[in-house]
Structure formats: C-alpha cells, structure tokens
Amino acid sequence: MKLLDLIKDMPVSRVRGNVNIEITGLTKDSRAVKDGTVFFATRKSETFIAQALKKGATVIVAGKDVKEAVPCLVVSDDVPLLLGKMASRFYGLPSTKLHVTGVTGTNGKTTTTYLIESILKADNRKAGVIGTISYRYGGLDLKADNTTPGATEAHSLLGDMYESGVRFVAMEVSSHALDQKRVEGIEFDMGIFTNLTHDHLDYHGDLDNYKSAKALLFRRHLEESAKENRCAILNGDDPVVRDMIPSQPVKSLFYSLKTPSDGYLVSSQEDIRGLKLEMSVMGKIVSIHSPLVGLFNASNILASSLYGHAVGVPLASIKKGVEGLGGVPGRLERVTNGRASIFVDYAHTPDALRKVLEMLNRLKEGRLILVFGCGGDRDRTKRPVMGGIASRMADMTIITSDNPRSEDPKSIIQEVAQGFHGSPFKVIENRRDAIGEGIKLARENDVLLVAGKGHEDYQIIGDKVFHFSDREVIEECLNVVRR
C-alpha cells in the first residue's frame, strides 16, 4: 500500500517528504522494523528512531518534526491513536467485516470469552478469540504475549481471522490496552463488563483511574463505533456499573445474580463437581448444568448467555454451548486424582482470591489448603491484603514464590506474611517444593488450591524465564506420592 493512500483523511497535521512510496508494514517497536516500514515514535520509542532507520524504516511518525532526512508525518493529536487507525486501513479494515466484542473487567474476562466461543460453536458459527491464554481461530491456537495485543498485531490478527472464515470475534480488552490505545481503529459491536476490583494500581495509581480506563471501552470505543446495533452487556451487581453505561443509541443489557434483570439467576445449586442453574434470559427460563465450579461463574454464564441472545443464537444452542465447556485452563482447573480435590487458579488479586476461597469453603468437606505467592515488580499494596484474606479463609496456607522478577522473593513473602494474624501458615520459597508440601498435607475430602499463576507455563526469577507449570508440577508430585 502506498503511503499516500494510507494517510488519506488521517489526523496528520503535517507531512514532509515523498508520500508516493510503498509501505510494507507498521510498528512502534524498532526491533520489528524491516525495509519499507513506517516507524511510530511514541514517547517510549522515540529514542529508537536511529535504530529503526538503520533497520530499513522509510517513514517516521512523531509528535514533532525529526531531524533525520526521511519522510515524516507529524501528528497533532497522539501517535498511538494514529497507529491504530492506520493499522486498521493497512490490514483492510478487518473489524468492519467482523462482529467484534470486547470483554473487560478485573476478573472473568477469560472465562467469558471461552463461554462465548463455546456458544458460537454450538450454533455452528466460526469464532475467533483474542485473550490472555491464547489467540484462537481457524484451528490455530497461538500463545498470547499480552491479554490484548498491540494495535498492529490486533488488526493483523483480525484480518487473518476474517480470511480464515471467522465472522464473530471475542477479545479480552485490558485496562492497560485501553489506556495505551492498543484497540484504536477497532470498530466494536459489543462490550461486556464483568466487574471492577483492586488490581493494577501500580500502573493506574488509584481505583478511579483504573475505572476510567475500563470505561473507555463503553464510553468511547463503543459510543464512537461506526457499527449498527451496538450493545453493552453490564454486570448490574457491580457498584461502578453506572460509570460504564454508554449513551444512546448503544443499547445496554444488564445481568445479575441478585435481582431480576435482562439476565438473572432464578435459582442455583453448587458443589465441588459444578453448577446447576435456572436462569432467565430476556424473559425465557433455561436450566443449565455446568462443570464450571463456583457460583461466581454463574455471572460469566449470564453475560455470555446475553451475548448469545444479542447475536441471535437460539436458547437451545446457548445451553449446549455453556454445558459443553468443561473448564478453562488455569481458571479453577481441576487436576484429577484419587485423593483430595485439587485446583489450579489464576487468582492473583485480592478480590479473585477472596471469591475463590469463599466458594471452596462453602463446598469443602474437609480442610482447605492454599499455596500461593505474589508477583514481584507489581502492586505491593495488595500483598498483605491477600495475606489477610488467606489468613481468614484457608485452614492452612503455604506462602511461596510466584514470579519474583527483580525483587527478592523473601521480601515479597515477608510482605504477604504481614497480613496473617493467628491462622497457621508455612513459608516455602521454592514453588515446586511448596506445591509438593501441599499435596503431602492434603487428605481425602480436603481441597488444595494452588493460586496465582493459573495457565502460565513459566516463572520469572531475576531477568530469566524458566519453564514452570503449576498443573505439571502437581501431576509430577502426585506420581511421586502414588509410588
């Protein structure tokens, strides 16, 4: 595509140099530059202009004129916004040809996208998913680098999905992605809000900023989308839901575990094997038997069921899709064994840990044993908070290392331990040994929860990344016990 065609009607304040040149790609990462690339010099990447030019960049986009003698686009607004808009055009405006749903919230995003995918497949529709665990479409299952990829990668993925026959896409949209403008240029049909709880305050500073970032999906991207029949599906049980409601003509649908809404829970039964739910979806009653454990998953099921209704999936297919999802990697993922009930869960926030421990306490027949830690170089304020939750709600806790990154694991563990008051806990820094100790302690009818890393198959210690899967380690330890 020629630069002239790429920048037509774009928010560019000044153009310098020849625009009748062929463009082969767009990026803000100097490491990804090839011959013919447009390099977007954001505040973080503008120091890499010389490196980008050396690797073959032919155009620079910046917030001010650059000294280098190459074509330059000067942006009066901001560089990341233009990157998203130009990436959409470069890849053929893929989101305009797809039904695109963004799912945001602190917890539940991944499970909700898995449920949506299962519902669409039950109705014989080709689905694509962009999320924390992987990017999935057309038989491909690609490991995800970020919950929400960068703008260039997102539009490229959407283009590939369309070419593979996908027509419905569910993507997790993180607060970081919204704040960093990674979803610019995507025309959304629908937005789903799951909840808002304490997380990512190391990045956003406070809950108000965090909430405002989440609200951008509904009050900016969905409101400004060129799509017809736009819809927001919102958790009516969350205290901040009013701050997420978009203006007309975007339609809003609400779901609740507590009060009659567009989708709500009529009755429920839960045990360690799953859920039995009776739900109302737009006035129609449906009975669901789901293998997902925990009543909080009823909220995700309601959200995805309203999604199914909104895109015209029959209630029978919604039921089939929900009941057909056996589990989600790292989200209360059951590890089958002949001893205790053992689960791996991604709970790495105070709210997520509290909710999963509350649920397991309701369902346990014996003791509840918890193995968890907190990540390094992340929000330190939540460490003693999570320690306090574990202290109150687990019968026995083993505090261990998570992804310490550049921090001293012992210091992180000490901050977690500050939240403990009276209840028993052990400190075993090595995560493999901690999991092994949890399995040794767990007796028949006990519940063992290994929390914090979920689907992750790595551990970051210092500047090195090691292969580490909680599930694999549990299975290895169980094999040793069986011998």
Residue 105 known to bind ligand: yes
Q: Say what the pLDDT of residue 44 is.
A: 86
* Tokens read off for 53: 């030019």
Residue 167 known to bind ligand: no
Q: Which CATH class is domain 3-79?
A: alpha beta
Report the C-alpha dihedral over residues 333, 334, 340, 346, rounded to 10 degrees: 0
Judging by beta carbons within 10 Å of its beta carbon (0-12, 13-18, 19+), is residue 380 exposed, middle or buried?
middle
Q: Say what the pLDDT of residue 199 is.
A: 63
Residue 180 known to bind ligand: yes
What's the CA gap between 205 and 207, in Å, rounded?
A: 7
pLDDT digits (tens, 9 = 90+) for 294-315: 898 999 999 999 999 999 999 9
Q: Domain boundaries in the chain? A: 3-79, 94-324, 333-482
Residue 404 known to bind ligand: yes
Backbone angles phi, psi at 52, to 5 degrees: -65, -40
* Tokens read off for 280: 């109302």
Residue 431 known to bind ligand: no
Mean pLDDT on 26-39: 96
Residue 378 known to bind ligand: yes
Nearest to 303 by CA among 147, 168, 103, 100: 103
What's the CA gap between 64 and 234, in Å, rounded?
A: 40
The answer to whether residue 481 scores a pLDDT higher than 80 is no
| pTM for this model (two decimals) | 0.88
Q: Say what the pLDDT of residue 200 is.
A: 59
Give me the percent of the chain exceeding a pLDDT of 70. 98
Q: Say what the pLDDT of residue 337 is.
A: 84
Residue 110 known to bind ligand: yes
Residue 195 known to bind ligand: no
Q: Say what the pLDDT of residue 338 is.
A: 77
Nearest to 373 by CA among 422, 413, 320, 411: 413
* Tokens read off for 454: 């979920």
DSSP SS3 for 60: strand
The string of DSSP letters for 268-287 reads EEEETTEEEEEEEETTEEEE
* Tokens read off for 156: 């490229």
Q: Say what the pLDDT of residue 204 is.
A: 62
pLDDT digits (tens, 9 = 90+) for 447-476: 999 999 999 999 999 999 999 999 999 999
Residue 97 known to bind ligand: no
What's the CA gap between 483 and 477, in Å, rounded?
A: 10
Q: Say what the pLDDT of residue 201 is.
A: 61
CA 27 to chain centre: 23
Residue 219 known to bind ligand: no
Q: Any residues with CB less than 8 A from the CB of 436 and at least 6 apart, and which?
A: 473, 477, 480
* Tokens read off for 180: 């960093």
Residue 273 known to bind ligand: no
pLDDT digits (tens, 9 = 90+) for 246-262: 999 999 999 999 999 99
What's the CA gap between 87 and 195, in Å, rounded?
A: 30
pLDDT digits (tens, 9 = 90+) for 79-117: 999 999 999 999 999 999 999 999 999 989 999 999 999
The CATH number that domain 333-482 falls under is 3.90.190.20
Give the fold, CATH level 3, of 94-324.
Answer: UDP-N-acetylmuramoyl-L-alanine:D-glutamate ligase (3.40.1190)
Residue 107 known to bind ligand: yes
What's the CA gap between 281 and 261, in Å, rounded?
A: 9
H or E element, residue 233: strand 231-235
Residue 95 known to bind ligand: no
pLDDT digits (tens, 9 = 90+) for 170-203: 999 999 999 999 999 999 999 999 999 866 566 6
Residue 174 known to bind ligand: yes
Sign, CA dihedral 452-450-143-111, equals: negative
Residue 24 known to bind ligand: no
